[in-house]
Amino acid sequence: MQASTEARVPVMKTPVAHSTLEVAQLPAVWSSEAVRPLGEWTAHERARAELSLLKTGALLLRGFAPRSLREFQQFAASFGHALVNYEFGSTPRTALAAGVYSSTEYPAHQRIPLHNEQSYTRSWPMKIWFFCERAASEGGQTPIADSRAIYAAMPVRIRERFVERGLMYVRNYGGGLDVPWQQVFGTDDAREVERVCAARGIDCEWKGDGELRTREVAQAVARHPRCAAWVWFNQAHLFHVSALDADVRESLLEVVEVEDLPRNVYYGDGAPIEDSVLEEIRRVLERTKVTFAWCDGDVLMLDNMLVAHAREPFVGPRKVSVAMAEPYAP
């Protein structure tokens, strides 16, 4: 049975230099003339979606609006992997149902840069779904970008330096400045935190005020386990202190030392990363970005390694929920 037809949505795009990939391919779009619940998809349709996802990395489902959050949850889980909890997260979210969360709860005026989910760790979900229950009246798009194109467009000297040296992410939890460690680790037991960190190869220390600091050395690039493509896969540009607005950065450094910033990133040996390098990286990310407008009821399915995502500022109510599945650790 033919469940959908290939369609195209208008996108704003910029060609990627030094890449053989066509950014305009993102996202692949399936639409249906008649609204049909995703809960009625067959195994054949899910297999087709998996193949499309492996090729393009992003599949926008338009016209198959879930009738409820429960139906979205069941659809995401129907691909053969249990939905995962948002463990070791770096942003505030609200659990809406088992394995379903609100999108990052940053203020509406803030822009969230492109990133692959949990690429600041050494394990991450392979799949992520977004359900736009209500689109913002203005803005609020979820831009995406092909991580293979980012890898290809990244200046070779930066890519080689990052690969050779790796990245060290430093996080200081709580203190009124960032997500509390109890929320990140899902426990109030300090010994359980230490156990989790030891199992994941994360260095942790309890500071004099009882708050937690962690250091984790992680990858800068990664190789997709199925298609063998190399992808740019880190959040250096997001964690680095240069990601803060100048006035916020200055204000923070007036009250805390550099080592106590809520988050920062260094080369894997602990040496600082130059601000100029991060600016070059951000320019590449901006050039590869593809933006489309949400419609109420849209579902966006991403291969988390092949495609990065972001969030634009918005006006008015916006309701987007997220589910993740298929944890992977190289």
Of 241, 249, 238, 179, the closest CA to residue 214 belongs to 179
Inform me whether the pLDDT recorded for 3 exceeds 50: no
DSSP β-ladder status, 307-311 and 124-134: unpaired
What whole-number percentage of the chain has pLDDT above 90? 69
Average pLDDT over residues 148-161: 97
Average pLDDT over residues 13-26: 46
pLDDT of residue 269: 96
Choice among 185-199, 247-261, 267-281 with the minimum mean pLDDT? 247-261
pLDDT of residue 8: 47
Contact status, residue 93 vs residue 63, Cβ threshold 8 Å: no
Contact status, residue 58 vs residue 27, Cβ threshold 8 Å: yes
Query: 155-185, pLDDT tens digit by residue?
Result: 999 999 999 999 999 999 987 788 889 988 9
Inform me whether the pLDDT recorded for 31 exceeds 90: no
Query: 33-55, pLDDT tens digit by residue?
Result: 644 578 888 888 899 999 999 99
pLDDT of residue 89: 66
Contact status, residue 313 vs residue 107, Cβ threshold 8 Å: no
Query: 296-322, pLDDT tens digit by residue?
Result: 999 999 999 999 999 999 999 999 999
Choice among 178-182, 188-192, 203-207, 277-281 with the minimum mean pLDDT? 178-182
pLDDT of residue 87: 72
pLDDT of residue 93: 77
Average pLDDT over residues 96-117: 90
- Give the right CATH number for 5-14+23-141+291-328 from 2.40.110.10, 3.40.50.1000, 3.60.130.10, 1.10.3720.10: 3.60.130.10
pLDDT of residue 90: 66
Question: What is the band of 237 on the pLDDT scale with cuts at 50, 70, 90?
Answer: very high
In angstroms, rounded to a whole number, what is the distance separating the alpha carbons of residues 238 and 278?
9
In this prediction the pTM is 0.89
For the chain, the average pLDDT equals 88
In angstroms, rounded to a whole number, what is the distance separating the alpha carbons of residues 263 and 120?
11
In angstroms, rounded to a whole number, what is the distance separating the alpha carbons of residues 305 and 232?
9
pLDDT of residue 66: 84
